[in-house]
Amino acid sequence: MLNFEFCSPTHFVFGKDTEAKTGALVKQYGGTKVLIHYGGGSAVRSGLLDRVEKSLTEEGILFETLGGVQPNPRSSLVYEGIDLCRKTGVDFILAVGGGSVIDSAKAIAAGVLIDGDFWQYWETKTPVPASLPIGTVLTIPAAGSESSHNSVITNEKTMVKRGTTGQCLRPKFSVLNPELTFTLPAWQTASGASDIIAHVLERYFTNTEDVEVTDRLCEALLLTMVHETPRVIENPTCYEARANIMWAGALAHNNVVGVGREQDWATHALEHELSALRDVTHGAGLAVLFPAWMEKALPHNPKLFAKMATRIFGIENTGDDTETGRLGICAWRDFFHTIGMPSTLRELGMKEEDLPYMANRLMLKKDGTFGNFIPLTPADAEEIYRACF
Amino acid sequence: MLNFEFCSPTHFVFGKDTEAKTGALVKQYGGTKVLIHYGGGSAVRSGLLDRVEKSLTEEGILFETLGGVQPNPRSSLVYEGIDLCRKTGVDFILAVGGGSVIDSAKAIAAGVLIDGDFWQYWETKTPVPASLPIGTVLTIPAAGSESSHNSVITNEKTMVKRGTTGQCLRPKFSVLNPELTFTLPAWQTASGASDIIAHVLERYFTNTEDVEVTDRLCEALLLTMVHETPRVIENPTCYEARANIMWAGALAHNNVVGVGREQDWATHALEHELSALRDVTHGAGLAVLFPAWMEKALPHNPKLFAKMATRIFGIENTGDDTETGRLGICAWRDFFHTIGMPSTLRELGMKEEDLPYMANRLMLKKDGTFGNFIPLTPADAEEIYRACF
């Protein structure tokens, strides 16, 4: 196991009707003037925004609102939010929405305290040193931003999508009410589930040996997602399945299951290019790319793939780890298909000419590669893109 | 899933040589004058205490020391620690040791700020409202006190052992260096492992239905412990196995795997009477009692026991959940035996006349029972004690 530090101080308030506690939570964490940041109309139409505003008012907390966050959140709205906060003296950022809203809120929270352009930190993946405190009311279990110290933003001038980190970006509190996810369309539910699964797989595929505890914890979350996702696709108002997914989503990305092991993250890098170029839904892109990445990575450690196949899908080892591992990859393809995800980049609207273009835009390490489980070159990236085109 | 709140803000610093960071961590969390609290001679003999003191001195942090914490830590030393802190102006409590040392440190940290007798909070299980900040350098993975908000103390005047909680009792930081556990004797290693397993089992046996994610997370920790404990018994200096156990121990009791589900805790209550009366090693007592409790609880939910048998020990379901569940209980007995734990109370030094005495000393709820999975009466407790006497 590698040496590590881990600190996940977010206060999770989980369960039915918990959004009514938002005002009290903002007060507890020192907010007096809040920016409520949200996305499209669903938070308005569902009455959620009203309930959150009422809860703030009951605690005597003032607020501004800024809606309009899009999936793959844009830098322009971040700049607008930073200006608004500075002009109105906001001291707490409250995200009401999914991962895009939370990531945008984090960029605003950090940007308010940054001299100059917030984007410099995102573009260069430089950890941000400080931010206003952030709270979240989650509506889509997917990105894990409700528990993570990450934020990913797309600069629409350059169409570059980049993420950065910062311990200050961990939300002070996150309100997780599974009922708020009952109305999610099947596409968003399945894309969110694919994103959660991908967060675990990026940690599962490691060159660090003999890390049984985090192996098992990763597998626990994968088994949960494989079991629960088809249940909610079948029955969108199944509270228990929604609840299991929501807690799995929070734990999949606060790093409790990934500490002490090298992690990969090549597939996320491959996907960010899709989202940046053609505004692909992040989770759907991951569902297409991960099996293709796995095929490329299988020869590097067939034993680990065979273990995954056996432990997640109950596939009996044929005696040949490569063969067993490949059956596991097929099982993932089948699973993503079952929950309604596409299996090709074409279905996601990508064009063949995009493939080399994207491969050459990837952010590389100094040695010209990306990813850790197997270091990949831009040529490898293009091969993976083509394999699932 | 039940509504819940969860916040585990402890900063874990995990890995080789990490005790050298203790001084910097105390400084980061605001300590200027530290009480170093420790147990017997092993922290001194191993040089650990010297290294910790050096690390404090390098950061210009002053300290007092108070050793002598015994297993099943006593209230008398807590009173002494409280006096010492008040007289010398200590503002940070640093525990260097195992669960007993940390629990004692927590009681001192809270007691300094309590008007009157600290014991009133422990005796009545009243959560403590405030405490001095606490840090830990862990030497025995077992109690989970390095991550939990719990503290258990024995009042030697009355020989009553009681625990309380308090969010303030979560350590600000915990230094976890698996190398520090290389020299643990097999008995302490196995007792610690049994305690970790028991913390998970107390959460696993629940009447809350359809909690797949926490079921799977509990199983992940149990599978880890079943796999790794025999490895360290065989090879005490196996870093990886020690590391897997150490991280499992921290996660087994910070409640991340137990939220949203009713928990049992009857077996801990049964064990506390053993430790209070005859100073039994806590984990060893749990290893004897848990299979006996399971036999009593099996008829209440055979399906859950069969699931445990299948998922933890790979036992094929015979078609009869009760029979399969009983095979799982046998597998636990075998496991505890394999790692060198006793299987009877007699081996732990208990006398037959202790059994009704202990059964009648248990702290009961208003309805005259204890435990949640199946509510037990004192008569049930005596039956369980006798079954494993």
Give the relative orientation of helices A212-234 and A302-313 as an angle to the nearest 10 degrees.
50
Residues 6+ apart with CB under 8 A from A350: A274, A277, A278, A280, A389
Category of B316 on φ-ψ map: left (φ > 0), alpha (ψ -120 to 50) or beta = beta
**Most A CBs within 10 Å: which of B215, B217, B239, B316, as the mutation test of the A interface?**
B217
Report whether pLDDT(A159) > 90: no
Mean pLDDT value across residues B349-367: 97
The confidence score (pLDDT) of residue B42 equals 86
Q: In Å, how far is A238's CA from the nearest CA of chain B?
A: 11
H or E element in which residue B14 lies: strand B4-14
Do A231 and B238 touch, CB atoms closer than 8 A?
no
The confidence score (pLDDT) of residue B41 equals 79
Whole-Å CA distances, A327 to A9, A297, A301, A302? 39, 14, 15, 11
* Spans of all domains in chain B: 11-180, 184-387
The confidence score (pLDDT) of residue B40 equals 82
The owner of tokens 């200027």 is: B32
Superfamily of domain A183-387 in CATH is: Dehydroquinate synthase-like - alpha domain (1.20.1090.10)
* Burial classification of residue A377, based on how many CB atoms lie within 10 Å of its CB (0-12 exposed, 13-18 middle, 19 or more buried): middle
Report whether pLDDT(A345) > 90: yes
Angle in degrees, CA B240, A217, A7, rounded to 5: 80
Distance, in Å, from the CA atom of A334 to the CA atom of A357, rounded to the nearest integer, reads 29
The confidence score (pLDDT) of residue A254 equals 95
Report whether pLDDT(A41) > 90: no
Q: In Å, how far is B150's CA from the nearest CA of chain A?
A: 17
Report if pTM > 0.95. yes
Contact flag A11-B11 (C-beta cutoff 8 Å): no
| Per-residue pLDDT tens over the stretch B176-210 | 999 999 999 999 999 999 999 999 999 999 999 99
Contact flag A219-B220 (C-beta cutoff 8 Å): yes
Q: Are strands B4-14 and B173-176 parallel, antiparallel or unpaired?
A: parallel
Distance, in Å, from the CA atom of A149 to the CA atom of A102, rounded to the nearest integer, reads 11
Q: What percent of chain B has pLDDT over 90?
A: 97
Q: What percent of chain A has pLDDT over 70?
A: 100
Do B214 and B204 touch, CB atoms closer than 8 A?
no
Length of chain A, in residues: 389
Whole-Å CA distances, B29 to B9, B88, B92? 12, 19, 9
Task: Show residues of chain B in contact with A12, CB under 8 Å.
Answer: 4-7, 259
Mean pLDDT value across residues A123-145: 96
List residues in chain A touching B: CB distance below 8 A: 1-16, 18, 178, 209-214, 216-217, 219-221, 223-224, 227-228, 239-241, 243-245, 247-248, 251, 256, 259-260
pLDDT band for position B161 (50/70/90)?
confident
Top-tier CATH class for A11-180: alpha beta
CA end-to-end span of chain A: 37
Q: In Å, how far is A137's CA from the nearest CA of chain B?
A: 14
| Per-residue pLDDT tens over the stretch A356-379 | 999 999 999 999 999 999 999 999
Task: Show residues of chain A in contact with B227, CB under 8 Å.
Answer: 212
Contact flag A223-B216 (C-beta cutoff 8 Å): yes
| Per-residue pLDDT tens over the stretch B65-102 | 999 999 889 999 999 999 999 999 999 999 999 999 99
Q: Which residue of B has its CA nearest to A216?
A: B220
List residues in chain B touching A: CB distance below 8 A: 1-16, 18, 178, 209-214, 216-217, 219-221, 223-224, 227-228, 239-241, 243-245, 247-248, 251, 256, 259-260
Contact flag A247-B214 (C-beta cutoff 8 Å): yes
| Per-residue pLDDT tens over the stretch A73-86 | 999 999 999 999 99
Strands (E) across chain A are located at: 4-14, 33-38, 62-66, 92-97, 134-138, 150-155, 160-165, 173-176
Distance, in Å, from the CA atom of A22 to the CA atom of A13, rounded to the nearest integer, reads 9
Size of interface A-B (CB pairs under 8 A): 137
Other C-beta atoms lying within 10 Å of the C-beta of residue A89: 10
Name the CATH topology of B184-387: Dehydroquinate synthase-like, alpha domain (1.20.1090)
Partner-chain residue, chosen from B7, B240, B245, that has the shortest CB–CB distance to A210: B240
Mean pLDDT value across residues A13-36: 98
What single string gives the DSSP state of each residue in A115-151? SS-THHHHHTTPPP-----EEEEES--SS-TTT-SEE
Report whether pLDDT(B159) > 90: no
Distance, in Å, from the CA atom of B142 to the CA atom of B190, rounded to the nearest integer, reads 9
Mean pLDDT value across residues B130-151: 97
